[in-house]
Amino acid sequence: MSIEEISSIIMRSFTKAHWPHWNGKENLQEAIRQKETCKKLNIGFLKVTDSDYPVMLKTISNPPYMLFYRGSLEGFSQKSVSVVGTRNLSPEGKTSAFDFAKKASQAGVCVISGLAKGADGFAHKGAVDAWFETPENDSLGRTIAVLPGPIDEIRPQLHVKLAENIIKSGGCLVSEYPPLSEFGNWQYVQRNRIIAALSPATVVIEAPNGSGSLITVDFALELSRDVMFHKSCFNDYAKKINEGVIKNLENQYNNKKISRHKFEVCVDQYVKDGAPVIEDFEDYCKCFSEIPGSRSSVNTYTTNTNINRIEQLSLFD
């Protein structure tokens, strides 16, 4: 169809001035090519109107019109938790992500993450490991990896085998982008909104200032989801990494290369505002039964170093 025909059907004024390169015939051929690729690679797809489309994802203002997937959709019908964190994890953070996800899976909770290096990868590995210990156990929570790019492209390549194991263990890979489509770095942020939307709560394993994981936190809060921070965020190794990150961000901010928000956003601020800190999966479950804001002792985890430094810098703005 031409863009003018589409405009007439949906009763909105879209013309070639808006999409000068629109070519309905070429788009149709591309769609046919993508559909054939889906058949060859055993890729399934859901429209937002389909009954199997994830219910929690339907509730957001901009759900993907289509979801492409490889593997089983069983995880979408289970209780779920999103696990995110930095790519440059401390040894404690690696163990924390793995153990949290493994315990969650053993409790029948599906682990949602993004297949990235660091926290994402260790979270998926923990859930998969639970399956390898007791294969074919239907009571186990699955794990779902939300890809930033097209469904037929694994990023990073380091996690190709992990992606295979996710499918083997009854989980799945999902993406809002069809096979053979192009990839852009902006899609990482779009992916984060899906990770946040698919669970009632997001757990951050470790996240230095300005981390992409904190973008997921912002999405979760906008969607009225719970956000919790693992105590590993505050271990000495993580703090040392963050000191270097802060210096780099400070230089970028002074040189007007990044926004104030990018520099200011930090774990300490979320905790100062009342976000709970948890120790493990059991503590995560316990936290849901507590009165919101009752964990006043969590302030002992923070040093307020980040907050003080930002406040001092703002005096000279």
Per-residue pLDDT at 295 exceeds 80: no
- DSSP per residue, 272-294: HTT--EESSHHHHHHHHTSPTT-
For 99, the 3-state DSSP assignment is: helix
pLDDT of residue 301: 63
Per-residue pLDDT at 9 exceeds 60: yes
How much is the average pLDDT of 251-272? 85
- Give the CA angle between residues 200, 193, 67 to the nearest 5°: 95
CA 251, chain centre distance (Å)? 28
Local confidence band at 256 (pLDDT 50, 70, 90 cut-offs): confident
Rounded to whole angstroms, the Cα distance separating 51 from 91 reads 42
Q: Which residue has the higher pLDDT, 72 or 317?
A: 72
Percent of the chain with pLDDT over 70: 92
Percent of the chain with pLDDT over 90: 69
Residue 303: CA count within 13 A, CB half-sphere: 12
pLDDT of residue 248: 87
How much is the average pLDDT of 229-249? 91
pLDDT of residue 300: 55
Name the pTM for this structure: 0.88
Phi, psi at 172, each rounded to 5°: -155, 165
pLDDT of residue 303: 53
Per-residue pLDDT at 302 exceeds 70: no
pLDDT of residue 296: 55
Per-residue pLDDT at 241 exceeds 90: no
Q: Which residue has the higher pLDDT, 311 or 66?
A: 66
How much is the average pLDDT of 42-68? 95
Local confidence band at 265 (pLDDT 50, 70, 90 cut-offs): confident
pLDDT of residue 260: 78
**Amino acid (one-letter) located at 51:** S
The separation between the first and the last C-alpha atoms of the chain, rounded to the nearest angstrom, is 53
How much is the average pLDDT of 11-39? 87
In terms of Cβ atoms closer than 10 Å to its own Cβ (0-12, 13-18, 19+), residue 17 is exposed
pLDDT of residue 299: 53
Q: What is the pLDDT of residues 91-115, one digit of tens each?
A: 999 999 999 999 999 999 999 999 9
12-26, 204-218, 238-252: which is most confident? 204-218
pLDDT of residue 263: 74
How much is the average pLDDT of 299-307? 54
Local confidence band at 144 (pLDDT 50, 70, 90 cut-offs): very high
Rounded to whole angstroms, the Cα distance separating 27 from 270 reads 44
